[in-house]
Structure 1
Amino acid sequence: MHEYEWVFGTSKAAVVRTVMRWGRSTISCEFYDWAKHDPQMHESFFLDRESYRAYKIDKNQWSKKDESEYLSNCASRSRDNYRGWWRFCDLPHGYTPDDWFSVGRDHEELTDPDMPFEEVATKLQEQTYDEWKHLDFWEIESHDSSSIDKAIRYWRNEQVEGEDYYGAENEMPVA
């Protein structure tokens, strides 16, 4: 996209599909099978979790709440059902799938390898929109109807007060 280009859409995913030129660019989604591609790290994840629990129990620092959360986590992320995740592939400008989203931000991890591709793509696109909004890039602004109305009011007030305002460069000079 070029400077000052606008994209409007009926959903977060629609905007991201337009910006990413989805379907015309090489960007797509893939299921990264962690257990297959890096079995040692996959196994280490579970061993570390089990070791941490044993250590805390040994130190008498493991509560009933900890155990409940542990069992819940074990059910949702077992060796059999937590084998990998969906991610974007063929990203632009040297981005890797691992650095597309900010570290420490909670994104829904899509771990079902049988999830329909279109559903995966939409969810990753929605997460991308949220990421861009959160990072507050100066290059990208995200608006909803309320914030765009506020921006237009601001520009109109600037215009009335004779200040420079967005869009002035596209108007014909008054003679």
Structure 2
Amino acid sequence: MAETVLGQTFPGELAELLLRHDGSGYFDVIGVFQLLSVSAIVSNRQAATNLEVATQREGDTTGYFLREGYALWHPSDLPFASDSGGSLLILDTRPQATSSRVGKHDELGRTTFPADAMWESLNHLLDAVATAMETRTPLGRYTATAKDGRLTWQGQV
């Protein structure tokens, strides 16, 4: 249903994740990011697309970091996680891509694709999260800890 609403097929790795976990609520899974539910994926994607359409309609994309002509949201981007500050983790689902690489979409509308291998795909990222949790090694700037039997991520300065 969500794929029909968005007019886009979800990458297999995301579809598999959503079948197991329809979001994580307020539970941080990837550093400070929570997994989005299917309905939150749809609403975030629709809101971002509407903002991009309005920006393009106004015709002034000056000052924006353009990505293939898009100012705030590329139509191939599919959000799957969010933080409390308005940033999203997205999958780049362009058909010519060999896999759906992971990017960070910030609250100002900029999307970046980190060069680290863990960002090559959702599966790479989830493997890095699992390894960080098992070995208590940092995931970027965050280290997994347990507090009152719950997973938390402690930031490093």
TM-score (norm 1): 0.31
Q: Which has the higher helix share?
A: 1
Return the structure number with greater relative CO, CA threshold 8 A, min gap 6.
1
Asked which structure has the greater CA Rg, the reply is 1
Q: Which has the higher strand share?
A: 2
TM-score (norm 2): 0.33
